[in-house]
Amino acid sequence: MKYLGWIVAILLVAVFFYAYRTKYAPLKKDVTELREEISMWEDVLRGEQGVKGERQRFAPDRFFDDGKLTPFAEVEILRKFDLRNRGVEIYLTAPNAFSRAGDLLRFFNEQHIKYRNLSMYVVVDSVERFEYKFVK
């Protein structure tokens, strides 16, 4: 009987240690990682506040004929797609959105048009559109 207090104390310490290792420590690790990620994204957004751009939209039939770039489109791209911009976002829609995107990327590659940041959004949608936004 005189050791019962010590046995209960050791059991309580073991239960608290087990609960700490299995419940608290993994949650604390996850919370720390999330705080670091949130801080990283806040820094990214803080640095991007001055970023602005211009968006232009064209009728797709002027830019594409059977999924291929038209001569008008090639001239327009060479005239407008200035490499001094930080990047460009391009939006393509159906029909033949993937073949249009492939042809556009092929043309960029042939003309050595390279941006630090190029995003192409290919959307299968009922409304045809071709638009791009320059990121300054």
What would the pLDDT profile of 46-91 be if each residue is shown by its tens digit?
Answer: 655 555 566 777 777 778 887 788 888 888 888 877 767 667 777 7
Q: Encoding tokens for residue 42?
A: 């806040």
> How much is the pLDDT for 132?
74
Domain ranges of the chain: 1-50, 53-135
Mean pLDDT of the chain: 79
Measure Cα distances from 35 to 40, 95, 116 in Å: 9, 43, 28
* HSE (side-chain half, CA atoms, 13 Å) at 24: 7
CA dihedral 87, 82, 109, 103 (to 10 degrees): 90
- Which residue's entry shows tokens 């630090």? 116
CATH superfamily, domain at 53-135: OmpA-like domain (3.30.1330.60)
* pLDDT score of 15 more than 80: yes
Q: Encoding tokens for residue 53?
A: 């751009």
Average pLDDT over residues 121-126: 71
